[in-house]
C-alpha cells in the first residue's frame, strides 16, 4: 500500500531555488520581509503593496510508485476584500524573492478544486510531465521518496483599499493520486 508525506520547502534571500538549501516550513505566512516561517505582525504589508514572493517546492516522501493529478487550491477561509494570492504551479524563476508582482499564467490560486492539474511534477527536461528527475531527489535513497515538484511561486497582493490588520487564515490543499 502506498503511503505519502508532503512537506513545503521554501527558498529565501541568498538561497537559490531548486538547490538543496531550502527550509522546511509548516506555514506560508506572507509579509514585507523575505523570511521563512515569518511572524506576520513583525512584517506588516502596507495596503497597495505586495508580500515578498514565496518560492516553494512540494517534497514527497514515503513508499509509493507514482504521483499524478496534482492540484492545489484554497480549500477553506475567506479572502479579505481587495486581497488576493497569486500562484504559479510552475516557474523557472531563479532569482531571489521580491515584492515585485509575479508574472504567472495561472493567476490567482483557485478557490475550489480545479479540473486541471496545476502543480507541475517533472521528469527530465522542463517540458516533460511526471515526477522530478533523480537529480532533484533529496535526503532519501531511491527514485521517488524525497522527490520534489517544480518550483511554485506564491504572492499575496493588496490594493490601496485593502483592510488594515491581520488577514484571514486560509487553508490550501494539495490533492493528488498516488500508487
Which phi and psi (to 5°) does residue 81 adopt? -65, 140
Whole-number average pLDDT of the chain: 76
CB within 8 A of 43, min separation 6: which ones? 29, 31, 32, 33, 35
| Per-residue model confidence (pLDDT) at position 89 | 75
Q: For the whole model, what pTM was predicted? A: 0.80
Q: What is the largest CA-CA distance in the chain?
A: 51
Residues for the chain: how many in total?
Answer: 179
pLDDT of residue 32: 92
Residue 4, phi then psi, degrees to nearest 5: -145, 140
Banded pLDDT at 150 (limits 50, 70, 90): confident
Q: Is the pLDDT of residue 77 over 50?
A: yes
Rounded-to-integer distance, Cα 153 and Cα 57, Å: 9
The domain limits of the chain are: 3-178
Task: Convert 46-64 to b/e letters by CB count within 10 Å (16 or more is b).
Answer: eeeebbbbbbbbbbbbeeb
The answer to whether residue 143 scores a pLDDT higher than 60 is no
Amino acid at each position: 500500500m502506498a503511503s505519502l508525506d508532503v512537506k513545503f520547502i521554501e527558498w529565501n534571500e541568498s538561497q537559490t531555488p531548486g538547490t538543496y538549501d531550502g527550509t522546511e516550513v509548516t506555514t506560508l505566512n506572507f509579509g514585507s520581509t523575505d523570511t521563512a516561517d515569518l511572524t506576520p505582525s513583525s512584517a506588516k504589508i502596507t495596503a497597495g503593496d505586495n508580500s515578498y514572493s514565496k518560492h516553494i517546492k512540494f517534497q514527497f516522501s514515503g513508499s509509493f510508485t507514482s504521483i499524478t493529478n496534482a492540484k492545489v487550491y484554497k480549500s477553506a477561509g475567506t479572502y479579505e476584500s481587495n486581497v488576493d494570492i497569486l500562484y504559479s504551479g510552475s516557474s523557472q524563476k531563479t532569482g531571489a524573492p521580491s515584492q515585485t508582482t509575479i508574472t504567472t499564467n495561472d493567476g490567482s490560486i483557485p478557490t475550489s478544486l480545479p479540473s486541471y492539474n496545476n502543480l507541475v511534477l517533472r521528469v527530465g527536461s522542463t517540458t516533460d510531465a511526471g515526477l522530478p528527475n533523480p537529480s532533484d531527489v533529496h535526503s532519501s535513497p531511491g527514485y521517488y521518496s524525497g522527490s520534489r515538484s517544480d518550483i511554485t511561486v506564491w504572492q499575496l497582493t493588496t490594493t490601496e483599499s485593502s483592510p488594515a490588520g491581520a488577514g484571514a487564515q486560509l487553508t490550501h490543499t494539495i490533492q493528488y493520486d498516488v500508487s
